Amino acid sequence: MAKPPQQKEQKPGSCTYHLLGFVTGGLGLGESSRQTLQRMQELNIALSVRNVDSRDHRAKQISGFEQILETRRKHWPGHINLIHVNPPEFGNLILDQYPNIPAIRNLNVIIPFWELPVLTESWILPLEAMDCVLAPTHFIQETISKHFPDKPIIHYPQSVNIKSAPKPDRARFELPDDAFVFLCGFDAMSCMERKNPMASIAAFKKAFQGGEKVRLLIKVSNPDFDGAREKLEQMKAGDDRIVIYSEILPREELEQLYASCDALISLHRSEGLGLFIMEMMAQAKPTIVTAWSGNMDFTTPENSCLVDFKMVPVQSRHPAYQFCAKAPEACWADADTDCAAGWMRALVADRQLCARIGKQAHETMAQLRENDCAGVFAQLEEMHRHGFKRSKQARSYIRKKRLKHLGKKIERSFKRVIGRTQGRP
């Protein structure tokens, strides 16, 4: 029997893209957009890049992209809008900052990051306006699919850059040379209850009660948000082995901090992805992590120290999760601190175990980086070529949002004119 002809591998390149994201923003969504930008450049995909202003202190923290950012307000030559912000920001930021974006004519594709098994109300309408979703993890893909079973939702695996780790500098961070240092890092604005550094502190205290040469370094961003610093200090309870570090570091020094630690502990209750975990794994560091949610795309028993958990109802004061917390299926993981403490003791006692797990972690990240996701972009271009149906509700949402932003701009202009006529600046 004759063999069927081999199907030619799909390659992208027939469409031009508009990439919109927090390209210069110092936040996880910004880093993800920069990774996508790098992938598309390596694939020689034609694109124009537009920076979205996050309108907070994290905006414009990353430099080096000035030459490639498109600044012509009415120049939209592409066929596909690749939206690298979460759904609410499509309506609240993108349609406000870029009112001329061809959101009705073009294929709208979004790359969202979410941490719960149920979506919040503010996501529903803007997601309805999308023609396709690129899900960064299977966890996100499954969650969105439950709400939108008929929408194309494509798995879009994430990666981080693989490069030589910087030389450790423990003196720079006031860490003793002879101690085993665990790193726990989080941004208080990303929901302290979800990131759950308290569990890492509890596990550390369970693991080491004597004179072991160990440290737990807690790197916290935005420590004054929601009283994070005070809560950490209370949990620390005067234990000098626990160091709370909140200095804002440029990227190079942050990576040096990673290199100066021996292992990561992340007893999170849920992660959409787990970028911090990936970055430490890329530096060949063993990671002690909750065995649930987005990070399970890349953390395994071979390359990580997986921690047992039980599912508990979501309890959070974070505004993003307030609506979800009412849903009966809104649960997340509560890590077993005894299990985590056991892993901490094992790593301190066996440096060969550290090296073996770290080596596997680095190899996993290197394999992920080799995936250029050419097939994902080829699928998007196939959708564009063969047409796509958009609901009346989606068109209505886009038009209403545009009119709302236009009304606000007219109101602001009117107030400025009135102010000048009345002698106010």
Same-domain check for residues 50 and 150: yes
pLDDT at 328: 83
Same-domain check for residues 356 and 216: yes
Q: Are 24 and 54 in contact (CB under 8 A)?
A: no
Q: Where residue 127 sits, what CATH number does that domain have?
A: 3.40.50.11930
Place 245 in a pLDDT band, splitting at 50, 70 and 90. very high
In a domain, 418, yes or no: no
In a domain, 12, yes or no: no
Q: Are 80 and 18 in contact (CB under 8 A)?
A: yes
How far is residue 24's CA from residue 278's CA, in Å, rounded to a whole number? 21
Torsion angle defined by CA atoms of residues 66, 42, 298 and 198, in that order, rounded to the nearest 10 degrees: -10
In a domain, 8, yes or no: no
Place 352 in a pLDDT band, splitting at 50, 70 and 90. very high
Q: Is the pLDDT of residue 425 over 70?
A: no
pLDDT digits (tens, 9 = 90+) for 77-120: 999 999 999 999 999 999 999 999 999 999 999 999 999 999 99
Q: Model-level pTM?
A: 0.93
Place 5 in a pLDDT band, splitting at 50, 70 and 90. very low
Q: Is the pLDDT of residue 417 over 80?
A: no
Same-domain check for residues 356 and 404: no
pLDDT at 10: 66
How far is residue 208's CA from residue 216's CA, in Å, rounded to a whole number? 11
Q: Is the pLDDT of residue 6 over 60?
A: no
Element (H, E) at 421: helix 392-421
pLDDT digits (tens, 9 = 90+) for 366-413: 999 999 999 999 999 999 998 777 778 888 899 899 899 888 888 888
> Half-sphere exposure of 270 toward its Cβ, with a 13 Å CA cutoff?
26
Same-domain check for residues 281 and 346: yes
| Residue for token pair 């880093």 | 31
In a domain, 143, yes or no: yes
Same-domain check for residues 42 and 98: yes
Same-domain check for residues 381 and 331: no
Q: Is the pLDDT of residue 325 over 80?
A: no
Domain boundary among 354, 370, 386: 370
pLDDT at 394: 83
pLDDT at 89: 96
pLDDT at 41: 96
Q: Are 157 and 297 in contact (CB under 8 A)?
A: yes
Same-domain check for residues 232 and 289: yes
How far is residue 206's CA from residue 25's CA, in Å, rounded to a whole number? 38
The two tokens of residue 348 are 């301190």
How far is residue 81's CA from residue 388's CA, in Å, rounded to a whole number? 14
Closest CA to 15 of 34, 40, 51, 36: 40
Q: Is the pLDDT of residue 424 over 80?
A: no
In a domain, 191, yes or no: yes
DSSP 304: S
Greater model confidence, 277 or 398:
277
CA distances from 267 to 141, 241, 284, 331 (A): 22, 19, 19, 15
Q: Is the pLDDT of residue 415 over 80?
A: no
DSSP 373-408: -HHHHHHHHHHHHT-----HHHHHHHHHHHHHHHHH
Q: Is the pLDDT of residue 121 over 50?
A: yes
Place 141 in a pLDDT band, splitting at 50, 70 and 90. very high
pLDDT at 280: 97
Same-domain check for residues 112 and 190: no
Pairing assessment for the beta strands 132-135 and 153-155 based on DSSP bridges: parallel
Same-domain check for residues 76 and 144: yes
pLDDT digits (tens, 9 = 90+) for 154-166: 999 999 999 888 9
In a domain, 422, yes or no: no
**Residue 297: burial class (beta carbons within 10 Å; 0-12, 13-18, 19+):** buried
Q: How many domains does the chain have?
A: 2
Same-domain check for residues 327 and 194: yes
How far is residue 421's CA from residue 399's CA, in Å, rounded to a whole number? 33
Same-domain check for residues 226 and 363: yes
How far is residue 358's CA from residue 292's CA, in Å, rounded to a whole number? 20
In a domain, 78, yes or no: yes
The two tokens of residue 75 are 């120049």
Q: Which domain holds residue 189?
A: 180-370
**Residue 105: burial class (beta carbons within 10 Å; 0-12, 13-18, 19+):** exposed
In the three-class reduction of DSSP (H, G, I as helix; E, B as strand; rest coil), residue 56 is classed as coil
The two tokens of residue 271 are 């992660």
In a domain, 285, yes or no: yes
Q: Where residue 280 sits, what CATH number does that domain have?
A: 3.40.50.2000
Phi, psi of 166 (to 5 degrees): -65, 160
Q: Are 216 and 182 in contact (CB under 8 A)?
A: yes
pLDDT at 1: 36
Place 327 in a pLDDT band, splitting at 50, 70 and 90. confident
Same-domain check for residues 264 and 236: yes
Q: 182-186, 216-220, 267-271, 325-329: lowest mean pLDDT where? A: 325-329
Q: What percentage of the chain exceeds 90 in pLDDT? A: 77
The two tokens of residue 100 are 């001329």
| Mean of pLDDT over the chain | 92
What's the mean pLDDT in 248-267? 95
Q: Which amino acid is at 331?
A: C
Place 291 in a pLDDT band, splitting at 50, 70 and 90. very high
DSSP 93: I
Place 238 in a pLDDT band, splitting at 50, 70 and 90. confident
